């Protein structure tokens, strides 16, 4: 019965309990309970790195160590399409998203992790688009300047909307937005600008409304934007990080857009007075002193590469992990570009396994 369904869907599920979707998720998220990988070769193939034999063995060992340390060692939690979900059929339960009733059995329709909340059983898909929540900090790119609003692209199924009334005006006074303000919208944010904002609410058609009222939100310049998978950025207390020792701002957008740039003092989110327009014209003339200083640029690149390495390995991105990776690379005197080589990936996996085992030992 299960076999017919699988063939009908055109999938080939190997007889061992390996997870074929590792080939295209490209990594392990050890914090969740994805532990069931019988075929390590499948997992290695998902990582597009040329590993020598010793490196392969070391990486495998690090991943196994992380798996064994995972909090919920519940190997039944991860499912692929057409897997039966183990449920006690005598208890009343609610079928949630990602499940379906097939011939009296509860079967998964997406690849992911089974979550149980009271009586609700659902499957949380792993590689999905960003799922917004109210109050999330997101980083987006302006795609359109429309009437009284900006449309931002935030790696969601629809473009988010930032209303003119949700922005602070440059003079700081709270007042009604006049027609002149509307005509000057482009002097605040133009097309292709990077903007940091917060999710305010959902609109009736499912799209998002953003607000940028606080001083820490607004246009982002002088840096680079990294795009990663949204599920790697977990909700935490702090999404804005000011790294004093480097003088760098790090913003972890929950939609998977990460901004790394020069530190800018918290100011009014909108600066459109004369001083800035003069500064922009001198910048356009291409004078060297407007470029980011070399040392700061090196730090920005190092942090960016650290984040790239962590996403390839599939670890959740948070500040401690990023800083440890950066310190590891500087202590080993690894060249910034060599951070993207296979050796450093293996070292980072080993370091994380070590650190995780130490913290669990301390807890016990």
Q: Tell me which residues touch other proteins (CB under 8 A).
A: 48, 50, 141, 190-194, 219-225, 261, 280, 283, 286, 288, 290-292, 294, 297-298, 301-302, 304-305, 308, 335-337, 339-341
CB of 342 to other proteins, least distance (A): 9
CB of 193 to other proteins, least distance (A): 5
CB of 280 to other proteins, least distance (A): 8
CB of 163 to other proteins, least distance (A): 21
CA separation for the pair 134, 348 (Å, rounded): 34
Radius of gyration of the chain (CA): 24
Residue 90 or 285: the one with the smaller Cβ distance to other proteins is 285
Residue 161 or 226: the one with the smaller Cβ distance to other proteins is 226
Closest to 305 in 3D by CA, of 358, 220, 226, 197 = 226
Whole-Å CA distances, 222 to 225, 259, 265, 297: 10, 10, 13, 10
CB of 291 to other proteins, least distance (A): 4
Q: What counts of helices (H) and strands (E) characterise the chain?
A: 10, 16
Count of other CB atoms within 10 angstroms of residue 146 = 11
Residue 290 or 358: the one with the smaller Cβ distance to other proteins is 290
Q: What is the DSSP letter of 339?
A: G
| Residue 99, both tokens | 């499940």
Residue 11 or 291: the one with the smaller Cβ distance to other proteins is 291
CB of 63 to other proteins, least distance (A): 21
Calculate the dihedral angle through the C-alpha atoms of 33, 36, 42, 47, rounding to the nearest 10 degrees.
Answer: 20
Half-sphere exposure in the Cβ direction for 180 (13 Å, CA): 3
Residue 214 or 292: the one with the smaller Cβ distance to other proteins is 292
Residue 144 or 171: the one with the smaller Cβ distance to other proteins is 144
Residue 179 or 294: the one with the smaller Cβ distance to other proteins is 294
Closest to 200 in 3D by CA, of 155, 133, 139, 254 = 133
Calculate the dihedral angle through the C-alpha atoms of 61, 65, 66, 71, rounding to the nearest 10 degrees.
Answer: 160
CB of 48 to other proteins, least distance (A): 7
Q: Which residues contact 316 (CB under 8 A, 6 or more apart)?
A: 29, 31, 232, 233, 234
| Residue 286, both tokens | 């291409």
Residue 36 or 222: the one with the smaller Cβ distance to other proteins is 222
Q: Is 140 helix (H, G, I), strand (E, B) or coil?
A: strand
**How does DSSP assign 272-294, residue by residue?**
-SHHHHHHHHHHHTT-GGGSPPH
Residue 114 or 304: the one with the smaller Cβ distance to other proteins is 304
Helices (H), the chain: 2-9, 22-25, 40-46, 53-69, 179-183, 185-188, 274-284, 294-313, 319-331, 342-363
CB of 227 to other proteins, least distance (A): 9
CB of 86 to other proteins, least distance (A): 36
CB of 184 to other proteins, least distance (A): 17
**Residues written for the chain:** 364
Residue 319 or 336: the one with the smaller Cβ distance to other proteins is 336
């Amino acid at each position: 019965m299960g076999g017919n369904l699988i063939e009908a869907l055109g999938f080939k599920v190997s007889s061992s309990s390996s997870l074929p979707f590792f080939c295209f998720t490209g990594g392990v998220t050890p914090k969740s309970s994805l532990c069931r990988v019988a075929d390590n070769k499948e997992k290695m193939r998902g990582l597009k790195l040329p590993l020598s034999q010793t490196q392969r063995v070391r990486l495998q060992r690090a991943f196994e160590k992380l798996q064994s340390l995972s909090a919920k060692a519940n190997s039944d939690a991860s499912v692929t399409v057409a897997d039966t979900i183990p449920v006690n059929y005598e208890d009343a339960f609610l079928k949630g998203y990602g499940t379906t009733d097939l011939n009296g059995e509860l079967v998964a329709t997406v690849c992911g992790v089974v979550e149980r909340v009271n009586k609700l059983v659902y499957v949380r898909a792993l590689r999905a688009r960003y799922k917004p929540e109210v109050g999330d900090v997101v980083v987006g790119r302006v795609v359109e300047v429309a009437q009284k609003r900006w449309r931002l692209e935030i790696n969601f199924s629809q473009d988010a909307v930032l209303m003119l009334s949700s922005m602070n005006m440059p003079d700081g006074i709270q007042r009604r937005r006049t027609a002149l303000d509307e005509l000057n919208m482009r002097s605040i944010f133009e097309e292709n600008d990077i903007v940091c904002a917060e999710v305010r609410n959902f609109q009736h058609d499912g799209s998002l409304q953003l607000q940028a009222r606080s001083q820490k939100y607004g246009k982002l310049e002088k840096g680079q934007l990294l795009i990663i998978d949204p599920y790697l950025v977990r909700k935490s207390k702090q999404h804005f990080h000011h790294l004093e020792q480097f003088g760098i701002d790090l913003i972890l957008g929950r939609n998977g857009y990460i901004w790394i740039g020069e530190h800018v003092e918290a100011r009014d989110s909108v600066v459109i007075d004369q001083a800035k327009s003069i500064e922009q014209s001198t910048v356009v003339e291409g004078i060297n002193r407007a470029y980011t200083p070399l040392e700061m640029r090196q730090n920005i690149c190092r942090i960016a590469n650290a984040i790239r390495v962590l996403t390839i390995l599939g670890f959740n991105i948070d500040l401690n992990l990023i800083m440890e990776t950066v310190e590891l690379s500087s202590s080993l005197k690894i060249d910034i570009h060599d951070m993207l080589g296979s050796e450093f990936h293996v070292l980072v996996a080993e370091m994380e396994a070590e650190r995780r085992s130490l913290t669990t030992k301390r807890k016990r």
